[in-house]
Amino acid sequence: MAEPVGFRAACVQMRSGLDRAKNTQQAIELIGEAAGAGAQFIATPEMTNVVDKDASRLFKSLPGEQNLAEVGAFAKAAQRHGVWLLAGSFAVKTGARRAANRSYLFAPDGALAATYDKIHMFDVDLPNGESWKESNVYAPGAKAVVVETPLAMLGLSICYDVRFAHLYRAIAKAGANVFCVPAAFTRQTGVAHWKTLLTARAIENGAFVIAPAQGGKHEDGRETYGHSLIIGPWGDILAEATHDAPGVIFADIEPQASAKARQRIPNLALEQSCEVSIVGR
């Protein structure tokens, strides 16, 4: 792989609803805006194609991957603009009552470069009574994914994955210097933890973090946090959406900054395994 050069990255922030075609069109328009401003890598949020917590309604209109029109639409957009394009995730039907929460990375010629299925399911009961059981609908993925591109080594992840530090350590050790974390964080957890978790993953691995988000009140009744972020490997905030409205943020990424951060703090190389002693039992 040739030495990577700097590139301009963009996060597309959205407020996807129930209509897949409408959501896709809105995403394509924002992708065009990002490309027009010089972005070479563009990422959209988790569940770009549909946000719907009603499983019965979702499955009535959700096709399998071969008939998922948004895959073709994103491939054409990547080719039209000549950019690396990450569909943060699409809901895609995999069985009668099962789906995948799947990222799609398209190359500038429109070819599908990689996919990644979200590994960690958002099964939580929050203090305000909000409850989510993502595993009731979505099947978890089983493999971490790192993609070698001319821009950077991209480590793919989705939303709730960000709470599992071992995943990011694994993809960093596999060579990833840019982590992609498309998300649809709930407002409650977003206010409390969004920026802290993303910054921690950047610092502890000396990696860039690109995190496009859903934001605002959705048609299905849920509320997401927004506040898309691009963070440098030293923990510096390179770009931030200070709101939850649809839009685009940009930052210039210098992959060599990741190597420099890892030289300053060589924790990836010096990590030690250890046994735990429980005292007092």
**CB atoms inside a 10 Å sphere around CB 217:** 12
Separation CA 106–CA 238 (nearest Å)? 24
* Structure confidence by residue, pLDDT tens digits, 53-81: 999 999 998 999 999 999 999 999 999 99
Model confidence at 1, pLDDT cuts 50, 70, 90, reads low
Write the pLDDT tens digit of every residue in 136-178: 999 999 999 999 999 999 999 999 999 999 999 999 999 999 9
Of the candidates 230, 188, 182, the one whose C-alpha atom is nearest the C-alpha of residue 207 is: 230
Would you say residue 32 has pLDDT above 80? yes
Q: Rounded mean pLDDT of 188-208? A: 97
pLDDT of residue 217: 98
- Which candidate in 11, 93, 134, 159 is catalytic? 159
Residue 150, burial from CB neighbour count under 10 angstroms (0-12, 13-18, 19+): middle
Residue 145 · residue 156 · CB < 8 Å: yes
- How does residue 18 score in pLDDT terms, banded at 50, 70 and 90? very high
Out of 11, 70, 93, 118, pick the active-site residue.
118
Q: In CATH, what class is 7-270? A: alpha beta
With a cut of 70, say whether residue 3 has pLDDT above it: no
Indicate the domain borders of the chain. 7-270
Q: Is-catalytic flag, 159?
A: yes
Q: What is the pLDDT of residue 39?
A: 98
3-state secondary structure of 89: strand
Of all residues in the chain, what percent carry a pLDDT higher than 90? Answer: 90
Tell me the pLDDT band of 125, cut-offs 50, 70 and 90. confident
pLDDT of amino acid 2: 59
User: Could you give the CA distance from residue 236 to residue 74 in angstroms, rounded to a whole number?
Assistant: 31
Q: How much of the chain is helix, strand and coil, in % rounded to 5?
A: 30, 30, 40
Whether 130 has a pLDDT exceeding 80, the answer reads no
Res. 127 pLDDT band, cuts 50 70 90: confident
pTM above 0.85, yes or no: yes
What does pLDDT average to over the chain?
A: 96
- pLDDT tens-digit readout, 103-117: 999 999 999 999 999
pLDDT of 26 above 60: yes
Closest CA to 65 of 100, 29, 34: 100
Q: Which of 11, 46, 70, 134 is catalytic?
A: 46
Confidence of residue 128 (pLDDT cuts 50, 70, 90): confident
76 catalytic residue (yes or no):
no
Q: Are 183 and 193 in contact (CB under 8 A)?
A: no
8-state DSSP, 201:
H
Residue 5: predicted pLDDT: 78
Percent of the chain scoring above 70 in pLDDT: 99
Structure tokens at 229: 């972020």
Q: What is the pLDDT of residues 233-267, one digit of tens each?
A: 999 999 999 999 999 999 999 999 999 999 999 99
- Catalytic-residue membership of 118: yes
Residue 128, classified by CB atoms within 10 Å of its CB into exposed (0-12), middle (13-18) or buried (19+), is exposed
Greater model confidence, 133 or 32: 32
